[in-house]
Homo-oligomer: A and B are copies of this chain.
């Protein structure tokens, strides 16, 4: 995907260096101290898994990706076998260097892969819609070489580098003509199915609009037609006006439990000046992200005094449509409703899509605000 030994200057003093992995995948080092990244990947060459398929679930007209090769992927290895640690001892990991700041590399077991040739999503939707290759790109983002840490333990400057990596990936992936939606996210905790505990996130770049994006787009279109305004901006204005659900804020960002939250703890973090995606954030706004993101995650872990399982999801406008209708926001959801209790997506949520919340958003916002932050 990228030429070997390419080097690129990004914002906030971040330099990106690309290297080829032994099986042809690319690893990108995002560094802030002019490090040299020449360690070769000494692992034997390995065949790449084939591309999966996407099928239309015509009952609801949504695409479902099938990636049967993922069934055998590595599952909760012990620390000494962690493939996301730097290569320091005998074990040759995904990262050939002996340390790193932030790296992004192509996923070894990707659900979605770049198509071999020209590729087009079938436009007509119905039972006759053919199966097509599962086009897309899946990447892994390692936040830190420290195995035992988590995103919330990062320094502000580390978070700033991660943000720069997300922005760079969004910009570059947007140039691929088969990509429709770019989704950086993090699953944290075994409760949400994490198979590797090393602090890391992922990026899924889809060749189709995911169901939730389609629904957000439909709601935003309707609102624009009715009012001439952007839906998200009106919802943000309500949060600011209502005040009771705000959890944290600074000059450029605001974090709140949304009015109709679906999870025991759900926080939306959004820039005060709305943008379509990460690439549109000004440098000033980027520089103000580390403090609010770290505060929000510390508040989340502080509610019960235990590390909270969460899904942290960047909602961005799609690459090729709705750019003026959907807004960037970072959605953090946690299924933990009490120290020993999780919220499960059972019958009502899973089969009907009808969410039942066990507490009001105002209550969880209060709990998050009440956390006393150390340091």
Contact in complex: A352, B213 (CB < 8 Å): yes
Contact in complex: B210, A354 (CB < 8 Å): yes
Residues of A192-244 whose CB lies within 8 A of B:
192-194, 202, 204, 206, 208, 210-213, 215-216, 218-219, 222-223, 226-227, 231-232, 234-235, 238
- A186 within 8 A of partner (CB): yes
Contact of A223 with B187 at beta-carbon distance under 8 Å, contacts A63-B354, A356-B65 already known: no
Contact of A238 with B127 at beta-carbon distance under 8 Å, contacts A66-B360, A219-B58, A347-B202 already known: yes
Contact in complex: A331, B351 (CB < 8 Å): yes
Contact in complex: A127, B183 (CB < 8 Å): no
Contact in complex: A71, B338 (CB < 8 Å): yes
> Contacting A352 at CB < 8 Å: which of B59, B204, B227, B359?
B204
Contact of A313 with B354 at beta-carbon distance under 8 Å, contacts A219-B59, A223-B126 already known: no
Contact in complex: B192, A346 (CB < 8 Å): yes
> Contacting A333 at CB < 8 Å: which of B58, B350, B353?
B350
Task: Report how many copies the assembly holds.
Answer: 2
Tell which of A98-106, A259-267, A285-293, A298-306 binds the partner. A259-267
How does the 8 Å CB contact mask read for A302-345 relative to B, with 1 for contact and 0 for none?
00000000010101000000000000000101000110011111
Chain B residues within 8 Å of A75, by CB? 341
How does the 8 Å CB contact mask read for A342-373 relative to B, with 1 for contact and 0 for none?
11111110111111111111010000000000
- A179 within 8 A of partner (CB): no
Contact of A111 with B348 at beta-carbon distance under 8 Å, contacts A57-B260, A354-B206 already known: yes
> Contacting A342 at CB < 8 Å: which of B193, B213, B347, B353?
B193
Describe A's contact surface by its main secondary structure. Answer: mixed
Contact of A67 with B343 at beta-carbon distance under 8 Å, contacts A127-B231, A235-B58 already known: no
Contact in complex: A344, B260 (CB < 8 Å): no
- A252 within 8 A of partner (CB): no
Chain B residues within 8 Å of A91, by CB? none
Contact in complex: A222, B61 (CB < 8 Å): yes
Distance between A225 CB and nearest chain B CB, rounded to angstroms:
11
Contact in complex: A346, B67 (CB < 8 Å): no
- A68 within 8 A of partner (CB): yes
Q: How far is the CA of A308 from the CA of B234 in the complex (A)?
A: 45
Chain B residues within 8 Å of A153, by CB? none
- A56 within 8 A of partner (CB): yes
- A11 within 8 A of partner (CB): no
Chain B residues within 8 Å of A65, by CB? 354-357
Distance between A263 CB and nearest chain B CB, rounded to angstroms:
9
Q: How far is the CA of A67 from the CA of B264 in the complex (A)?
A: 11
How does the 8 Å CB contact mask read for A22-41 relative to B, with 1 for contact and 0 for none?
00000000000000000000
Contact of A351 with B185 at beta-carbon distance under 8 Å, contacts A58-B219, A67-B356 already known: yes
Show 27 A/B contacts (Cβ-Cβ < 8 Å), sorted by A. Answer: A58-B219, A58-B235, A59-B216, A59-B258, A64-B261, A64-B357, A66-B357, A67-B358, A70-B356, A71-B337, A71-B359, A126-B227, A127-B238, A183-B347, A187-B347, A193-B343, A204-B347, A204-B354, A211-B354, A212-B352, A212-B353, A212-B354, A215-B353, A311-B347, A313-B347, A313-B351, A333-B351
